[in-house]
Structure 1
Amino acid sequence: MPSPHPATPSWEVRRTREARGVNAIPAVRPTTAEERAERVATTGGTPTLDFGSRTPYDAYVRTDVLHGLQQPLSDDAGEMSFLVITQVMELYFKLIAFELRNAQERLRAGDVWAALAPLRRTALHLEGLNASWRGLRWMTPADFNRFRDELGEASGLQSAMYRHVEFLLGLKNPALLRPFNRQPAAHRDLLHTLRTPSLWDDAIALLARRGHDLPRDLLDRDPATEHEPHAAVERAWVEVYRDTSPGNELRLLGEVLTEVAELFGDWRHQHVAAVRRAMGAKPGSGGSNGLAWLERSMARVVFPELWSARTHM
């Protein structure tokens, strides 16, 4: 189960560095607490309003790039809402994937306390992601129909970053790499996530290292395959929860993982509800049967033994 692969893939680090530019002059000049205090003393507490070619805020957030990404394909005003909220969700997928990898790195090092912080942030980010659906509640089938044809075969099924999130949570399906066969970078990145242990794999490996009796074939299984619920893992979590002392870090880990799983389940439920609201049972844009496909996907449970163990507590 333990993997030599880093929790944050080298391709992700490389991409970040390339985006910054190897020899680029920093767009935002760092300041110290002393400099900020001196600036306030100089300005009398009023904000600085004069800058060079661009404000530091724009340089940091890259608002010029961010606000240039909204290019609707129709003249319907509702499409802008649909597009922006979809892009917001994509950013949340990236943030959640980042936090899950952060937690994995700490679990692999055996530092459960340090893993709790990124997992708690993940739960909060999932709350933000789930809240995004509220921005689409206005959309009736008639509203969606006004611009749906312009989307062609574009579908959320084709979101590579969402697949990263699913794979990191343990919902592995090699077939879902196929849409990216002609996108080498996206395919390579997803293949890496598929072939390395999921967060749930890392949690199970941690239980074994902490002395819980887990079979070798479970710990050594191919991480590219989806985890099947196992009675030994269920028993391990029952044992973890028997210790109700405040210092039981594994119990705290179990609770935050449960929260992440529950909120991810909320995301899937709200996705189904949004599709049902906007298009009913019509065929999906990406070739699936739409609502029926989503409803079937909800049968796959994240961190299954954390749920089944509760029957025996």
Structure 2
Amino acid sequence: MSGCPFGHGADGDAAAPTPAPPAADLQRHEGAQLDFSADMSYGDYLHLDAVLSAQHPLSPAHDEMLFIVQHQTSELWMKLMLHELRAAVAAIAADQLPTAFKMLARVSRIMEQLVHAWDVLATMTPPEYSAIRPYLARSSGFQSWQYRCIEFLLGNKNAAMLQPHAHSPQRLAEVEAAWRAPSLYDEALRLMARRGLAVPASHTDRDWTRPYAASDAVEQAWLVAYRAPEAHWDLYQLGEELTDLEDAFRLWRFRHLTTVTRIIGMKTGTGGTSGAGYLRRMLDVELFPELWKLRTDL
């Protein structure tokens, strides 16, 4: 029967595929579109020459290129994450929650990308990493100033974590600014207080450089929104966006731990930390503790 959706003619034979147009025809009909000499090109816009020439392996090992690209792309994703997190904090401070929700959802999706990126690095075996490790000296992801800013923006404040960046005054200033500023959760609690929920002053006007301390009163404020979501829909949604974000962040940290353990076991990290032991301790850090506890108390 003619018109078969699988491309067969009336005799049941497969229809011949449509041949591609000859290169000369394509050039003739699309010539103007194929000449980019007068305009900014794709590579120009993305500065690809600079990006793709930024990989400089120090060892003769084939696998060092994987190690470099993995960490460079992670830093690019973190750059976007910081862009979105800073804007989300500002949006919450300005009571612009729909805007903040879009940004926070994007950050959670970025973290999913970073989780899956560990799958690629996990193809590196212990002997392959051992071949490049001597060339890394003391360089370590522990020294990532962007990651430190992300941690501080998410509320995991620790003055000791300023020290790894002290060798670069410019980077130290950026990290210190994140350390001194209200975190994403701090701004969320201040918003709740502005909406009339009973968030204590101890959590809306405090020393932002101090680690966050969980509060029963803060949990009770969240419970008001969670027990009557129709009346507090945007605050309820904010709580779930924050929960999504911490869930994704925990997965990112966990996948980091399992990849490191798979490749170096329990060896000390190049940056001087205990390696897997340090990463395991970080899994116990809760960024938004009341949002997890209220699930038991609802």
Task: Say yes or no: TM over 0.5.
Answer: yes
Which residue of structure 2 aligns with residue 11 of structure 1? Answer: none
Q: Equivalent residue for 2:14?
A: none
**2: CA distance, partners of 1:73 / 1:172:** 35
Residue number among 89, 92, 117 corresponding to 1:132 in the alignment? 117
Per the alignment, residue 153 of structure 2 pairs with 168
Matches within 5 A, 1:1-313: 48-52=33-37, 55-245=40-230, 248-313=233-298
Q: Which residue of 2 aligns with 1:30?
A: none
**Corresponding residue pairs, total:** 271
Q: What secondary structure, in the 3-state scheme, does the structure 2 residue paired with 1:287 have?
A: coil
TM-score using structure 2 length = 0.87
Whether contact under 8 Å (1:168, 1:198) holds in the other structure is yes
Deviations 1:153-204 (A, max 9, x none): 1111100000011000001111111111120100001111100000010001
The runs of 5 or more residues in structure 1 that have no matched partner are 1-42
Q: Which runs of 4+ in 1 moved over 3 A?
A: 43-47
Distance 2:30 2:223 in 1: 57
Structure 2 regions of 5+ residues with no counterpart?
Answer: 1-27
TM-score w.r.t. the length of structure 1 is 0.83
Q: Which residue identity does 1:245 align to in structure 2? A: E
Correspondence for 1:19: none
Contact 1:169 1:199 in 2 (8 A): yes
Mapped partners of 2:186, 2:30: distance in 1:
52
2-side partners of 1:241 and 1:134: how far apart?
A: 36
Give RMSD over aligned pairs: 1.7
Inter-partner Cα distance in structure 1 for 2:31 and 2:241: 42
CA distance in 1, matches of 2:32, 2:172: 46
CA separation of 1:44 and 1:208: change in aligned 2, threshold 3 A: farther
Select the structure of larger CA radius of gyration.
2
